[in-house]
Amino acid sequence: MSRQLEDLDRIDRQILRILQRAGRLPNVELARRVNLSPTPCLERVKRLEREGFIRDYVALLDPLKVHAGLVVYIQVTLTDTATSALEAFNEHVSSLEEVQECHMVAGGFDYLIKIRIKDMLGYRRFLGEKLASIPGVRETHTYVVIQEVKTDTAVAVPDPEPKAKGKR
């Protein structure tokens, strides 16, 4: 019923690659680029949305211009690692607007959090007023980002295998 990545032909993958970089590209222009007429192209896009390959469309802002130019990673270790404690922590962290990402990791500490704030004062406020007030936080370790070398929301979409009895 719902297709796998393997079921997508070359054109579907092209569409995904293009829309990852230009989400507002008019359908007529998208169609031109993948050598289709607008109708089947739109049909493909809609289908990719319906099947969940495309999750949603967003505008990306310039972090510097909205006072979120400073990126800080924070390692967090909890005192209690019972499931309920973890879930409570998940809830708390997810509600903090400064937190862009939060991952539970294996290999040394429990969580890795990425936050965006304006400056060091913003970081201090976050740590003191927000993170520290979450119960069960045993230890934090801070990594301040000096330079953002690469930031990309796009993921690689592999080319289709030229199957023996392949599609089209």
The single-letter code of the amino acid at 97 is E
Residue closer to DNA, measured from CB, 38 or 136:
38
**Nearby residues of 93 by Cβ (< 8 Å), 6 or more positions away:** 99, 102, 111, 113, 134
**Nearby residues of 69 by Cβ (< 8 Å), 6 or more positions away:** 63, 116, 118, 119
The region of 74-82, 115-123, 136-144, 159-167 touching DNA under the rule CB under 7 A is 159-167
- 72 and 142 in contact (C-beta within 8 Å)? yes
Query: With 0-12 CB in 10 A as exposed, 13-18 as middle and 19+ as buried, what is 54?
Result: middle
Residue closer to DNA, measured from CB, 30 or 70:
30
Smallest gap from residue 2 Cβ to its own copies (A): 9
Give the one entry of DNA, its own copies, none that residue 160 binds, where binding means its C-beta sits below a cut-off of 5 to 8 angstroms depending on kind. none
Instruction: Tell me if residue 132 falls in helix, strand or coil.
Output: coil
Binder of its own copies out of 22, 28, 120, 121 (CB under 8 A): 22
Q: Is 140 in the site for its own copies (CB under 8 A)?
A: no
Q: Is 71 in the site for its own copies (CB under 8 A)?
A: yes
Query: Which residues are near DNA by CB under 7 A?
Result: 11, 26-29, 35-44, 46, 165-168
